[in-house]
Structure 1
Amino acid sequence: MSLVTDAFVSQIAAVEPWPENAALYQPLKSEQVLLSDNASCLAVQAFLKMCNLPVQVVCRANAEYMSPSGKVPFIHVGNQVISELGPIVQFVKAKGHSLSDGLDEVQRAEMKAYMELVNNMLLTAELYIQWCDEATLEEITQPRYSFPYSWPLNYFLVFQRKWEIKRKMKAIGWATKTLEQVFEDVDQCCQALSQRLGTQPYFFNKQPTELDALVFGHLFTILTTQLTNDELQEKVKNYSNLIAFCRRIEQHYFEDHDSSISSSTKLSKGPTLP
């Protein structure tokens, strides 16, 4: 967000307390949501739970088109609608809730750098696999993305989204990468995250930050999503401390609290998406 927009959102957000009927909107979970969107939605859910802020998860087939940015998830809080993790973090901070207030300037800069790494590597890899790997595109992405729509709209929307993603990949230099090179990028990202986490419960010792929510969203989703092959999951499974990290957050913030992550999505129970 721009500085002006950021200041405006902060001013509006600070006026009212967090309501009990706050809602988080995302695509249909069992039929429609894709790997990257599910990861982003879970990251925001984790962040709000870490802030101890109640939110009702609402699944809508047209959530992407309801969002002010065209991306999911988005939250509806009072009269405000805010989409994506970054703006949501700023909105929540304006209401007096922050996970990173205890960090010093150096730590905040480091946290932001690792969040950029996750977005630039894991999120981009997820988008590449969904839209640029032909097997995944045909078997998973096309039927799920087009699920709510009838022909010819379903065909047009898939074609449009595929074109947008491929244009993005070309702009960032990923268009010429092979699937194996993408998997290697994921492995390097996981290696960096594993080294930073070490034996700590969270990336900055004993308390979670926005980085923990973001990493959990992506890694948990990768670990519990069935794709056309297991290579992406295997890259994450090579790092035992990242697996333990995901279990720790799942158990502390999701188990026995609500049905946002159903019993079928537990790491021990396997994937939830076809």
Structure 2
Amino acid sequence: MTPFGMKLETYLRMADIPYEPVYGWSMGPKGKIPWIEYNGEAMGDSGLIIEFLNKEKGVDLNQSLSDADKAVSRAFTKMGEENTYWGGARYRWIDNFDTVHEVLEVSWIVKILGLLRPVRSTIRENMWAHGIGRHSRDEIEGIVEKDIKAVSTFLGTKPYLMGDEPTEADAALFGQLVEACFAFPGSYMERLVTVDCPNLQAYVNRMKNRYWPDWDELTNKTPIQS
């Protein structure tokens, strides 16, 4: 339900760092998800968590990259997280809010009491403050299309974003693109990734098969409890 959760958990798998996932609605110290607890200390923000674990565990998924490649890698990561992300947020929480309850499989009382409406309002307010929320739906979809096609063009026939082996950026971009493939059925984002840019669908499947061999088992888990 969050590309940043997928990013962090994929990174943990890429880095072979043991972890125990906890599913629920609890927000982290920055008021967002995902977040972790490490040695009794709560930490938020997927990017800062990864930076911390890199130092703590001596991990460097970017060790094969030149300084120029690292700059490109960061640029694509930030494009996805600070720009493309909002297309999915709008699609889920604003344009198709009525389907959120079914996707989340929340209890009937959550739906009746409208307990998810504050989330929708927060997303709308955040998008307005960001600036992208001031655009029309068509304008936002056009922005997202340009982003996704830029990733597709740069990826080309490479197996991973920066070359033959995955790097940190792949965790971030997989988190964004896997939602388009699996969380937004029938959406323009799904069409972009699976029809217009088939190399991205192949990329998503490549990452999923390599790092998520338990994908089918996990996607049939018990629904999130409210």
TM range (shorter): 0.7 to 0.9
Q: Deviations over 1:76-104 (max 9, x none)?
A: 23223222320111111112012113322
1:107 to 48, 69, 78: 69
Give the distance between the partners of 2:132 and 2:101, measured in 1 at CA. Answer: 21
TM-score by length of 1: 0.71
Report the 3-state secondary structure (helix = DSSP H, G, I; strand = E; otherwise coil) of the residue aligned with 2:42.
Answer: strand
Corresponding position of 1:12: none
The aligned amino acid for 1:116 is K
Give the distance between the partners of 1:231 and 1:195, measured in 2 at CA. Answer: 18
Give the distance between the partners of 1:175 and 1:249, measured in 2 at CA. Answer: 31
Corresponding position of 2:26: 63
1:224 to 161, 164, 182: 182
Shift in Å, 1:50: 0.9
Report the 3-state secondary structure (helix = DSSP H, G, I; strand = E; otherwise coil) of the residue aligned with 1:75.
Answer: strand
8 Å Cα contact 1:203-1:212 kept in structure 2: yes
1:140 to 94, 99, 103: 99
8 Å Cα contact 1:131-1:165 kept in structure 2: yes
The answer for unaligned runs of 5 or more in structure 1 is 1-33, 267-271
Give the distance between the partners of 1:231 and 1:148, measured in 2 at CA. Answer: 29
Give the distance between the partners of 1:151 and 1:193, measured in 2 at CA. Answer: 38
With over 3 angstroms needed to count, the CA separation of the structure-2 counterparts of 1:232 and 1:40, relative to structure 1, is: same
8 Å Cα contact 1:146-1:158 kept in structure 2: no
Alignment of 1:1-274 (within 5 A): 34=1, 37=2, 39-60=3-24, 62-64=25-27, 67-95=28-56, 96-133=58-95, 136-137=96-97, 139-141=98-100, 147=106, 150=109, 154-155=113-114, 157-227=115-185, 229-237=186-194, 238-255=196-213, 259=214, 261-263=215-217
Query: What is the identity percentage for the equivalent residue pairs of Structure 1 and Structure 2?
Result: 21
Report the 3-state secondary structure (helix = DSSP H, G, I; strand = E; otherwise coil) of the residue aligned with 1:100.
Answer: coil
The answer for unaligned runs of 5 or more in structure 2 is none
With over 3 angstroms needed to count, the CA separation of the structure-2 counterparts of 1:87 and 1:53, relative to structure 1, is: same
Report the 3-state secondary structure (helix = DSSP H, G, I; strand = E; otherwise coil) of the residue aligned with 2:43.
Answer: strand
The aligned amino acid for 2:100 is T
8 Å Cα contact 2:35-2:44 kept in structure 1: yes
Higher RCO (Cα < 8 Å, 6 or more apart): 2
Question: After the TM superposition, which of the residue ranges 168-177 and 51-60 deviates more from structure 2?
Answer: 168-177
The aligned amino acid for 1:91 is F
Give the distance between the partners of 2:42 and 2:218, measured in 1 at CA. Answer: 30
Give the distance between the partners of 2:85 and 2:108, measured in 1 at CA. Answer: 25
8 Å Cα contact 1:92-1:98 kept in structure 2: no
Shift in Å, 1:239: 0.9
Q: How many pairs does the alignment contain?
A: 219
Give the distance between the partners of 2:90 and 2:123, measured in 1 at CA. Answer: 8
Give the distance between the partners of 1:234 and 1:191, measured in 2 at CA. Answer: 12
8 Å Cα contact 1:146-1:154 kept in structure 2: no
Shift in Å, 1:212: 0.3
Corresponding position of 1:24: none
8 Å Cα contact 1:200-1:206 kept in structure 2: yes
8 Å Cα contact 2:110-2:116 kept in structure 1: no
Shift in Å, 1:143: 6.2
Shift in Å, 1:207: 2.1
